[in-house]
Structure 1
């Protein structure tokens, strides 16, 4: 059985990081591309956000004895296979994990236009992830 404190804590972090990123949206793409400090803040917060999602998925997968542990993407697949996440949300979270890997490991140069677009167009997927897990937890996790 999942640990309620862990789930609530991770959901709180996901919400906090998403809110922090929303507050970083105020500048134009041109300003963002020139502002190295803002780029680092956005990138680090995005990495933390995705990691919190991975940590929560790992906890649920482990405690619900879903599938054997594997990669972060496999953790999301296990939640989708258990009907905890919708297929669309699971796919978007896998994309986010790949994006986090690029940011964290600096595979080549970071495309700041892409990061800016994620900041402005994709945060709702993290909210959707949070909502789906919260709904599952309310129904089955406690």
Structure 2
């Protein structure tokens, strides 16, 4: 059985990261130029994306361990295991697996990150993480 207290803590933390990213993106709206030319903004967005991805992976790993699902072979596979067991929808799988790949880029190839990719994720990728949170909550966190 999933540890409700731990899961709620992790989901709250992930929601905080999402909120911080939305705030930087929307108040006022950030431009590609700001991501390219303002290293503090770029680094904040990169690091917060990294934290959000790590938190998403951690949530998945905790569910997998607590529910005794098969052990994932990689970070990408964490999301496949969750889909196999009906925890999250298959529609999310591809985008979440790309997110896990992006995590590897942030951690291992950080010097070559294209600011355009950061910008696109900021504007197009947060909805996938928000949906992930909602699907996890719907399955494991009673109202």
Separation of aligned partners in 1, 2:130 and 2:31: 23
Scaled by the length of structure 2, the TM-score of the pair is 0.92
Separation of aligned partners in 1, 2:6 and 2:89: 22
Equivalent residue in structure 2 for 1:90, among 85, 89, 93 = 93
Query: Aligned pair count?
Result: 139
Deviation at 1:70, TM superposition (A): 2.7
Q: Is the Cα–Cα contact under 8 Å of residues 62 and 69 in structure 1 kept in the other structure?
A: no
Q: Does 1:14 align with 2:14?
A: yes
Deviation at 1:18, TM superposition (A): 0.3
Deviation at 1:107, TM superposition (A): 5.8
Separation of aligned partners in 2, 1:135 and 1:41: 30
Q: Which residue of structure 2 lines up, in the alignment, with residue 3 of structure 1?
A: 3
Give runs of aligned pairs for residues 20-59 of structure 1, distance below 5 A.
Answer: 20-25=20-25, 26-59=29-62
Q: Kindly provide the CA deviation profile for residues 22-66 of structure 1, in whole angstroms up to 9, marking residues without a partner as x.
A: 111132111221001111100000000000000000000011011
Scaled by the length of structure 1, the TM-score of the pair is 0.92
Q: Does 1:67 align with 2:55?
A: no
Separation of aligned partners in 1, 2:20 and 2:48: 8
Gaps of 5+ in 1: none
- Alignment RMSD (CA, Å): 1.3
Deviation at 1:69, TM superposition (A): 3.8
Equivalent residue in structure 1 for 2:114, among 79, 93, 111 = 111
